Amino acid sequence: MSDRIGVRARRRSPALSVRVRILAAILLVTAAGLAIAGTTAYVVQRERTLIEIDAVLTDTVDDARIVAADSAAVDVRGALRAVIAGVRPATNESTLAVIDGVAALEPRAVDFRLADDVLVARSVAETATGEVVLGTVTASGRLLRYVFVPVSVDGDPARGTFIAAFDVNAELRPVSDASRTYLFVGLATLMVVGLVGWVVAGRLLRPIRGLREATARITASDVSERIPVVGHDDVSALTSTVNEMLDRLQGALTGQRQLLDDVGHELKTPITIVRGHLELMNSSSAADVAATRDLAIDELDRMGGLVRDISALAQVERSALAQRYPADIAALVERVRQNAGALSAHSWVTTETADVVVAVDADKLTQALLQLAANAVTHGAPTGAIELGSALTLDAAGQPRLQLWVSDHGPGVSDELLPRIFDRFQRGTRGRGPAGSGLGLAIVAAIAEAHGGTVLISPTPGGGATFTIDLPADSAPATPDLKDIRL
């Protein structure tokens, strides 16, 4: 096959669900706990049983010595006969007497017989030194724990050995049976835990499945669906957070749709005007061509101003979370007063000054005040004074507030226009100069909201309107709610 360089799609096996992974983790931990507990119990019980076997064998040695001493036997056989008769084997235990390497005596009623060549030969070899020997051996298909007790009588040259041995497997059978029962109980417990865990995990994860299904249904054009909040746990808190996020997204999408609708409406008029004049223009008439050109340039300038204002509004709202720095408010207002002098021949007067330093975006706040100044020039009195000012006040909670205002002495704001004056593309009565884009006051409101404040309108004494930017006068910039951003 020729070598090819390419991208090969890899088929991924479906990932296990969270419910399965949670249940698997619970079962693994439970199984590990049960296994550790069962193994520990088995080992402890087994060791205890082996210790008890050794204790019984040790007692058997003492009993055999006492019986042999009390028997007053004159030979080894007589002593061993007394021991066999006097030391009764316990359950799962057997005894045997060996004389000169031959199995000679054993009890009549025992659970098993010890007359095994391997065991007899072992007893002869291990008691050659005359010491008591405790050990383990496999004989006649049994695992035996034994004790060899040498027996001798003065005047008798024969060598005798008393053997007592336990069937270890028989002694451990209750422990093994208990462990087997524990195994069955553990498996049943795992099944119950698995069933309960499956149901409980399903109930706990049901809101998350609802979140997934709801987010799958939500599209870029429709974010109106909300997820029901059930309970008061972490999952319900997550549901509430997702719903709040959807509220913010819906608000942002609504603002975008409204902006697109407004922009389309605002651009349609000048485009229609230019198109109509171009279609009706008499190309052979120099005067008609010049008039149409002037009209087209005027309409293009209007569209250019509209685009600039939209860009300015978007820039304000995008930079709403930008860091702000302490600024001298008195110097800021004075700079605005000097710059406003270029807007008109009005008398620009500072009526009050707040000599404070507040954390603000000085450039954006200057832009807002100049926009209010331009609005006063356009819609206020044609001549006379326009007042600017700043003051530090306290709100109802005793918190400091910074207020900056621009007052004119024109006709004021009508009650009909007042509720929607800060909406995009909202224009007041035709003032002096070219018509604006209707975005100026919307930009002012966005700048105020970016500072955590608002814009207030009040009548000027003697006639006119006063626009006041009201901001919190603290050193930490406020963070606006994203759902209130209009663009």
How many C-beta atoms surround the C-beta of residue 477 within 10 A?
A: 19
Which stretch of DSSP H or E encloses residue 95? strand 93-99
The pLDDT score that the predictor gives to residue 475 is 45
- SS3 string of 192-238? HHHHHHHHHHHHHHHHHHHHHHHHHHCECCECCCCCCCCCCCHHHHH
The span from the first CA to the last CA of the chain, in angstroms, equals 58
pLDDT score, position 293: 85
Distance CA 211, CA 243 (A): 10
Backbone angles phi, psi at 146, to 5 degrees: -125, 165
pLDDT at 282: 82
**Domain limits of the chain?**
20-175, 320-484
The rounded distance, in Å, linking the Cα atoms of 342 and 373 is: 11
Give yes or no for a contact between 431 and 441, defined as CB atoms under 8 angstroms apart: no
The DSSP secondary structure of 30-74, one letter per residue, reads HHHHHHHHHHHHHHHHHHHHHHHHHHHHHHHHHHHHHHHHHTT-S
pLDDT of residue 117: 82
In sequence order, what are the beta bridge partners of 142?
139
The rounded distance, in Å, linking the Cα atoms of 233 and 213 is 20
Instruction: Count the alpha carbons within 13 Å of 244 in the hemisphere toward its beta carbon.
Output: 8
Q: What is the DSSP letter of 433?
A: S
Q: What backbone torsions phi and psi does residue 242 show, to the nearest 5 degrees?
A: -65, -40
pTM of the predicted model, to two decimals?
0.52
The CATH architecture one would assign to domain 320-484 is 2-Layer Sandwich (3.30)
**Digitized pLDDT (tens) for each residue of the chain, 487 residues in all:** 444 444 444 545 457 788 888 899 999 999 999 999 999 999 999 999 999 999 999 999 999 989 988 888 889 999 999 998 889 898 999 999 999 989 888 888 888 888 888 888 888 899 888 899 999 998 888 899 999 999 988 888 899 999 999 999 999 999 999 999 999 999 999 999 999 999 988 887 877 777 777 777 776 667 777 777 777 777 778 888 888 888 888 777 776 776 676 666 566 667 777 788 788 888 888 888 888 888 888 778 767 766 776 666 666 655 554 567 888 999 999 999 888 888 888 899 999 988 999 988 888 888 889 888 888 888 888 888 999 999 999 888 888 999 999 999 888 887 777 777 777 666 555 444 444 556 778 888 888 888 888 999 888 888 889 999 999 987 444 444 433 333 3
Query: Which tokens hold the place of 171?
Result: 């002694």
Whether CATH 3.30.450 fits 20-175: yes
Helix 286-318 to helix 440-450 angle (10° resolution) is 10
